[in-house]
Structure 1
């Protein structure tokens, strides 16, 4: 069932993409959409203030011999304080949706199946688990 949703989405993107059919248009629109996501997040900090970024050096335990990989998750921080307000959340979701559109367009022009890519990545994460270290 989930693959049908992905396939339907991929087909809908293919049917609706009219102006930016060239791979050059698609990759530049994808890059532009990445920038718009980053800009929307930055504006959540600088214009709205619903979130705050407090970035500092990530601290690792000093005794690395006793460090278990599962402890690493508890040591590393996101550097985000607060929660997105409804307005900022909606804007960021819209920008991520646009990004999905152009990512899917890229898959279409290269004859790649979005669901197969997602499934392959999911299986890789399940196989490697926390040892994928991303």
Structure 2
């Protein structure tokens, strides 16, 4: 029942995107808008670091475990390099930009006659099956 609700929600969203995408109907327009929205997500995160300062990037070499239990220890050893927490303003901006990104991703799926829910299910199955051996 839970998956049916998720399927309906994503199908409705995909239909709404189809109905509201008017100006950028061309695959080329949609591709470039999707790329632009990716850049805006990146820019919003960078601004959270450089303008607001609510988060910091403290990057350095990732230290990989050397023993035989490498995969067991990877999550404990590897870092996101992020410090701090997004302020409400930055969180709102980043969520807005990610929303636009999802919109254009969905628009691409529509133009290519791909169901986004099916993609999510396949990816979830792959992650569940491969677990930490997915190595992404």
Fold in common (TM above 0.5):
yes
1:105 counterpart residue number: 107
Give the ranges of 4+ consecutive aligned residues of structure 1 lying more than 2 Å apart after TM superposition. Answer: 64-68
Q: Tell me the CA shift for residue 60 of structure 1.
A: 1.4
2:9 matches 1:5: yes
2:53 matches 1:56: no
The RMSD of aligned alpha carbons is 0.8
Give TM-score scaled by structure 2 length.
Answer: 0.95
Q: Tell me the CA shift for residue 70 of structure 1.
A: 2.1
**Residue-by-residue CA offset, 1:106-132 (whole Å, 9 max, x unaligned):** 000000000001001000100001100
Give unpaired runs (5+ residues) of structure 2: none
Give TM-score scaled by structure 1 length.
Answer: 0.96
2:122 counterpart residue number: 120
- Counterparts of 1:1-134 in structure 2, within 5 Å, are 1-61=5-65, 64-134=66-136
Aligned residues: 132
What is the distance in 1 between the residues matched to 2:72 and 2:18? 41
Give unpaired runs (5+ residues) of structure 1: none
